[in-house]
Amino acid sequence: MKIETKVAHFSSPLYLESGRILEPYEIAYETYGVLNEQKSNVILVCHALSGSHHAAGQYPDERKPGWWDGLIGDGKAIDTTKYFVICTNVIGSCFGSTGPMSDNYPSEEPYRLKFPVVTIKDMIRAQMQLLSSLGIYHLRAIVGGSMGGMQALQFGVDYPNLADDVISLAATYATRPWTIAFNKVAMEAIRRDPRFEHGNYPRGAFEEEGLDGLAIGRIAGHISYLAPDSMETKFGRNYVNNDGLFELFGRYEVERYMEYNTNNFSRIFDPLSYLYIVKAINTFNLARGYDSLHEAILRIKARVHLISFSSDYLFFPSEMAHIAKMMKRNGQEHSYLEVQSSYGHDAFLVELEKFEASIAKVLQ
């Protein structure tokens, strides 16, 4: 599989939904496979909150491959012998695209809290600029899970003629109060951490020790990504062998797992980027800018394929089913699959074998 990683630079303004302008800006992106002469074999893959443009393949210095490596590659469901796959890092992130710790041009100081609030609409508008710069004006498909699924749906609404198929996994039509409440834990934990310094921390401040506030907030997020059954199966009531049961800070295995994963995360993910991306997720609403959700959905011309997961407690299956019911009433081409899973929201990253055939079938 041919892999290329690039950064595109844009000097033209990006007009944001808030009315503010981002100028100049950069988009990091990765491509897999070969673009055909007609540019008709392009699939756009959109990432979730903590993801990046590195969706597949493995870099020489990394322990794990890209976050959807099991799905993207030669002979896989998203077959890179047939398709040219593009995955971009969203604006606001900390993995190469312009975000709050980027230079606030013409200064060399970071934007920090001067960075504008970005939305899912803004993220896809920036990706449209990238596609245009590559001379790509039509897509075979757009695929994404969680926040990536939000982007896929937003593309379908805002750019009805862009793609043949839209495949959205583990997403929703609008972020519900339950999810916003989980996200609030992370936001407040970050903001109240003294080392956060109201966003005025230096670049690289947390690479060695991480930020406790982000680690604590990520625990809440991690709980929402899992499901009770999967946690019971994985950990049960097992206790850490060398921790005493009657030590106040002795830990169950599930506690140690949360500590390990969230502490590592807080070293590699910028806390300001986390706040900005969570804000984009919280403000997601397909109906915004249109008279109603019905009007927004009615704009979609692509074939839409919705995949939910039975134990997803972040974006419930009923939310995806609601979109499917609206499309059915409208006579719009669509399919809906509820995958039976005990892995919770993270199933779209973990249990690929339960839906990869469905994606392959759509792309055939």
| CA atoms of 314 and 255, how far apart (whole Å) | 21
Residue 157 predicted with pLDDT over 90: yes
The two three-digit tokens of residue 340, written as one number: 């039976």
Q: Kindly list the domain boundaries of the chain, sorted by start residue.
A: 3-175+285-363, 179-279
Residue 129 predicted with pLDDT over 90: yes
Residue 214 predicted with pLDDT over 90: yes
State the average pLDDT over residues 318-343. Answer: 97
Beta bridge partners of 86: 31, 44
Catalytic one of 47, 53, 54, 345: 345
Catalytic one of 102, 146, 308, 342: 146
Per DSSP bridges, beta strands 84-88 and 78-79 are unpaired
Only one residue has tokens 């990238």, namely 130
Q: How many residues does the chain have?
A: 364
**Per-residue CA distances from 200 to 109, 111, 204 (Å):** 11, 10, 12
Q: How confident is the model at residue 307 (pLDDT cuts 50, 70, 90)?
A: very high
Catalytic one of 312, 341, 342, 346: 312
Q: Which of 268, 177, 181 is nearest to 217 (CA)?
A: 181
Q: Is 345 a catalytic residue?
A: yes
3-state secondary structure of 110: strand
* CB 141, CB 43: distance < 8 Å: yes
**Per-residue CA distances from 116 to 10, 99, 350 (Å):** 17, 9, 33
| CA atoms of 304 and 230, how far apart (whole Å) | 29
The pLDDT of residue 111 is: 97
Residue 344 predicted with pLDDT over 90: yes
78-87, 117-126, 255-264: the lowest-pLDDT one: 255-264
Q: Which of 211, 191, 203 is nearest to 100 (CA)?
A: 203
- 16-25 pLDDT, tens digit per residue, is 999 999 999 9
Dihedral of the alpha carbons of 277, 283, 287, 290, in degrees to the nearest 10: -100
3-state secondary structure of 166: strand
Residue 235 predicted with pLDDT over 90: yes
3-state secondary structure of 335: strand
State the average pLDDT over residues 39-58. Answer: 97
Residue 60 predicted with pLDDT over 90: no
The two three-digit tokens of residue 9, written as one number: 């630079």
* pTM, full prediction: 0.96
State the average pLDDT over residues 318-330. Answer: 98
* CB 101, CB 4: distance < 8 Å: no
Residue 92 predicted with pLDDT over 90: yes
Q: Which of 109, 125, 150 is nearest to 20 (CA)?
A: 125
Alpha helix ranges (H) inside the chain:
120-133, 147-158, 177-191, 212-225, 228-235, 253-268, 271-282, 293-298, 317-330, 347-350, 356-363
State the average pLDDT over residues 80-101. Answer: 98
Only one residue has tokens 């002795």, namely 250
Residue 98 predicted with pLDDT over 90: yes
Q: How confident is the model at residue 287 (pLDDT cuts 50, 70, 90)?
A: very high
Sign of CA dihedral 290, 293, 294, 300: positive
Q: Is 312 a catalytic residue?
A: yes
The two three-digit tokens of residue 297, written as one number: 């959905």
The two three-digit tokens of residue 347, written as one number: 């199933």
| Strand (E) or helix (H) holding 10 | strand 3-10
As a whole number, the mean pLDDT across the chain is: 96
The pLDDT of residue 169 is: 98
Domain spanning 179-279 has what CATH number?
1.10.1740.110
Q: Is 53 a catalytic residue?
A: no
State the average pLDDT over residues 150-173. Answer: 98
What's the CATH fold of domain 3-175+285-363? Rossmann fold (3.40.50)
The pLDDT of residue 63 is: 86
